[in-house]
């Protein structure tokens, strides 16, 4: 039994897939199976994959395109490893990525999901993330805080709790699943830059941005509903100003509405205790401060 299953869904990434595959096969940590699920590629990706000879590779080929969520769930169910490490077929993992994440998870058995910081491939920009469980859960009221292809998850948490990606949250399925997982296990980000993320026109976050934004709205509203809040359209517009740090702190009306919304979040959370109250209060304050800095 391999210690880790590296799960990589693939669809038409022939221009980038060799770099992605080599970055996994070249890991300093060797005890893994590499589960590649080709979702009926037709650009030469299939032919490249079929030439690979490494015995750790387990290749599955779909006869028709079934979509990313189907491939992810298939991979979770087929994974044999104690851990499932995600990987995208157009990115690059650093050689020590698996080693570093597994070392941390072995020392912290209460952490069920562990992401990392990312570097943008095209310009080297560093993308840090919130680190602690409480920070991540609170920030996820506003945006997704886990780089999906950077995460390593404990298989037993997914399988014992029958947790799979939800197809109703198309193109934001990762954002949604982190919120469910955050209710039953700790989710953290390792503050090390172990993943290079490539931006290009054919990736989902670019080509399906409108749908992704709409689905992310569903995730945020579901979280607010869980707190007992059904936001009005105006309230949700204010909520999104916290996300973009676009509160007009020197405009009395805008500031007053934002302050009232922040107090509403804190009051509801005081009753339901879903999020760490002090952390939520601090994060709301950060949104005001960053909005003020952006307005200068």
Rounded CA-CA distance 65/251 in Å is 51
Residues 134 and 272 in one domain: no
Rounded CA-CA distance 208/210 in Å is 6
Residues 164 and 259 in one domain: no
Residues 191 and 231 in one domain: no
Q: 14: domain range?
A: 4-200
The angle, 0 to 180 degrees and rounded to 10, between the axes of the packed helices 277-294 and 233-244 is 80
Rounded CA-CA distance 198/205 in Å is 11
Residue 45 lies in a domain: yes
Residue 210 lies in a domain: no
Residues 246 and 179 in one domain: no
84-107 as b/e: b if 16+ CB within 10 A: bbbbbbbbbbbeebbebbbebbee
pTM: 0.95
Residues 152 and 3: beta-carbon distance below 8 Å: no
pLDDT at site 247: 97
Closest listed residue to residue 91, CA positions, set 65, 121, 61? 121
Residues 106 and 191 in one domain: yes
118: domain CATH number?
Answer: 3.90.550.10
Q: Which two tokens stand for residue 126?
A: 């560093």
- Please give the tally of structural domains in the chain: 2
The strand pairing partners of 174, in sequence order, are none
Residue 212 lies in a domain: no
Weakly modelled stretches of the chain, pLDDT under 70: 202-207, 296
Closest listed residue to residue 280, CA positions, set 227, 208, 232, 201? 227
Question: Last residue of a domain, which of 200, 217, 247?
Answer: 200
Residues 93 and 231 in one domain: no
Q: Which two tokens stand for residue 145?
A: 């805080």
């Amino acid at each position: 039994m391999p210690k880790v299953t590296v799960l990589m869904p693939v669809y038409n990434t022939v221009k980038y897939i060799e770099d992605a595959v080599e970055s996994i096969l070249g890991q300093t940590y060797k005890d893994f199976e590499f589960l590649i699920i080709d979702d009926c590629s037709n650009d030469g990706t299939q032919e490249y994959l079929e030439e690979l000879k490494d015995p750790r590779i387990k290749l599955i080929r779909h006869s028709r395109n079934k979509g990313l969520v189907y491939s992810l769930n298939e991979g979770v169910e087929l994974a044999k490893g104690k851990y499932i490490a995600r990987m995208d077929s157009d990115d690059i993992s650093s050689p020590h990525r698996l080693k570093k994440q597994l070392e941390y998870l072995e020392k912290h058995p209460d952490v069920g999901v562990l992401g990392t910081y990312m570097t943008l491939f095209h310009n080297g920009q560093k993308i840090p993330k919130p680190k602690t469980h409480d920070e991540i859960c609170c920030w996820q009221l506003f945006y997704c805080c886990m780089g999906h292809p950077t995460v390593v998850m404990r298989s037993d948490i997914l399988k014992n709790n029958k947790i799979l990606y939800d197809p109703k949250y198309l193109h934001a399925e990762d954002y949604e699943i982190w919120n469910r997982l955050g209710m039953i296990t700790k989710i953290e980000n390792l503050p090390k830059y172990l993943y290079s993320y490539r931006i290009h026109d054919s990736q989902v976050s670019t080509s399906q941005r409108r749908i992704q934004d709409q689905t992310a709205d569903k995730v945020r509203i579901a979280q607010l509903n869980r707190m007992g809040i059904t936001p009005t359209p105006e309230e949700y517009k204010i909520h999104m100003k916290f996300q973009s740090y676009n509160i007009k702190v020197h405009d009395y009306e805008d500031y007053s509405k934002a302050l009232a919304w922040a107090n509403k979040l804190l009051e509801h959370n005081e009753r339901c205790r879903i999020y760490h109250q002090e952390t939520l209060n601090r994060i709301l304050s950060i949104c005001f401060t960053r909005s003020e800095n952006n307005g200068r």
